[in-house]
Amino acid sequence: MRGISIKRLNDTVQALYETGLHAYALSRGGELISRGSIKPYRGDRHILFSLTKSFTSAAIGFLMREGKIDARDKVVSFFPEAFDGRPCQNMEKMCVKDLLMMATGHVKEPDIFPADATALESFLTSYVPKTPGGHFMYNTAGSCILAYIAEKVSGQRLDAYLKPRLFEPLGIQDYRWQKLKDGVCTGGFGLSADTDALLKFGRLLLQKGVWEGQRLLDESWVLDATSAQIIQQDGQGDWGAGYGYQFWRNTRMNSYRGDGAFGQYMIVLPEQDVVWASHSGTNDMAKQLDILFDMLFAYIDKDADERGEVTLPAYPPLSGGMSSGIAARVSGVSYRFENASEWFPIESMRFVFKENTALTLTYDGVPLTYAIGRGEHLCTVIDEERVKRDAERMCYVQASGAWESEDLFHARLMHVNTPFVTDIRAYFKNDAVKAEVTFNVGFGPTAFTLNGIRE
C-alpha cells in the first residue's frame, strides 16, 4: 500500500476509534490509500469547527493572487464607514497578516455574538493593548474578520467566492457554511465538509497550489501560509510548534495541519507525500495526533508494503430491556421542563413506546421527533427549514435506546454530522420525569439534570 503497512493502519484506526473517530481518509502520491467510516457514521458532511479557518485563509490567498489584497493592508482600511471617530491606535496598525497569524495584539478575544452589534462592529471597536504582529493569541474573531474582508473585497459571500476557485476545481460538492446574523460566512468556524474534501484541500497544499496541472494558488502563498510565521509563547506540544496563516505546525516530521475542535483534522506531510483527513468526537486531540504519528506516520516506508483491507469497527447501539411495565402508562405523555439548559434548550420531552419507539424533543420552540432503534441505530433526517439553530446537530441523527430498569429508559442520539452524542436517561416517577442529559464533548457543561412535570 505505497509504503504504508495495512496492519499498522488497522491498529491506528482501532486506536483512534477508541478515542472517538468517526471517519478518515488517507492518500499518498495523489492516490487514495484508504477511506472508511465507523458505523453509524457515514463519512459524509461533518462540521469542522476551527478547521474552517484554513479554508478562510485560502480565500485570502486567492484574493492576493488576484491582486485584490496585500498582506500589509490595514484592517481598518476596508471598513472606513465603521467609525464615527478614530479606532484605538493599535487597531489602526493591524494588518491582514496580523489577522492571518493570530497576532492582532488582543489579550481578550472580541465577542463574535454581541447582542446589539455585529461581529465586525464588536471587533473594530475593541481595545488592542499590544502592538500587532508580535504576540500570538488564538482569536476566532480575527478569523471572522478575514471573512468580512474577503466578502467586502470580492463582493460575494465567502462560499460563493470559493466555489469556482476551490470547491469546483477540486470536485468538492458536499459542503455547507454557517452564517453570522448579518449574513457573512463565519470565517473562524461553521464550515461542514466530508473527509474527501479535506483530503483534496490537503493535496492542493502539498502540491504547492497546483491541481491537475493547473495553478490555483501561488506557491509563495502556500509556503508562507504553512510555515511558522509566529511561535505560540504559551503553547505546548503540537499547539506550540509555530503558527502560519490559519495553519498549525506539528512538532514531528516537518508537517503541518488544519484542525478543529473535538478531533477534526487535515494533516499534510510534504516529505512523505501524505495527506490524512479525519472527523471525530474526542476530548483528547493531542492523543489522536500521538496515535497518528507514533503508530502510523513514523513507519511510512519502514514496513512491508502489505495488501489487504482495513477492518472497520462500529459503535454499537444501546442494549438492554426491550419493554417495561410502565411503558404503556408513560407512552405519549409530554413532560415540560422548567429548568431547560441554554446548552441544550429542551422545553419538553415525549416518548412513544409502541411497535416503534420515538422521542419528541421540543428544542428551542420546535418539536423534533426521532426514531429510536431497539437493538439497532435508526436514522432520522429533519427538514432544516424547521430548525431555528443547530441544524447540523439536530437534523441528522442516528438513535438507539433501551430500558435499563423498570422506570429508566436510556436514549442515545448520535448527531452524525457533528462530533456530538447526546445521552438522555429518563427516570419516570408518577407524573414526573427526571432526565439526566450528558454529552460526549462540549464547549460548555456536558452533564445536567432536567426535571419535568406531566403536561
Q: 148-165: per-residue pLDDT in tens?
A: 999 999 999 999 999 999
Pairing relationship of beta strands 21-28 and 31-37 according to DSSP bridges:
antiparallel
pLDDT score recorded for residue 86: 82
pLDDT band per the 50, 70, 90 thresholds, residue 278: very high
| Residues 347-364, mean pLDDT to the nearest whole number | 94
pLDDT score recorded for residue 322: 83
Is pLDDT at 227 greater than 90 in this prediction?
Answer: yes
Structure-model confidence comparison of residues 338 and 275, the more confident one: 275
pLDDT band per the 50, 70, 90 thresholds, residue 1: low
pLDDT score recorded for residue 341: 79
Is pLDDT at 304 greater than 90 in this prediction?
Answer: no
**CATH class for domain 327-454?**
mainly beta
The residue extents of the domains of the chain are 6-299, 327-454
Structure-model confidence comparison of residues 90 and 384, the more confident one: 90
In a 13 Å sphere around the CA of 123, the CA atoms on its Cβ side amount to 24
Say what the pTM is: 0.96
Residue type, 70: D
CATH superfamily of 6-299: DD-peptidase/beta-lactamase superfamily (3.40.710.10)
Q: pLDDT > 70: what percent of the chain? A: 99
Phi-psi region of 59 (alpha: psi -120 to 50; beta: other; left: phi over 0): alpha
Q: 400-431: per-residue pLDDT in tens?
A: 999 999 999 999 999 999 999 999 999 999 99
pLDDT band per the 50, 70, 90 thresholds, residue 47: very high
CB 441 within 8 A of CB 419: yes
Q: 177-194: per-residue pLDDT in tens?
A: 999 999 999 999 999 999
Q: Is the peptide bond before 40 cis (omega within 30 degrees of 0)?
A: yes
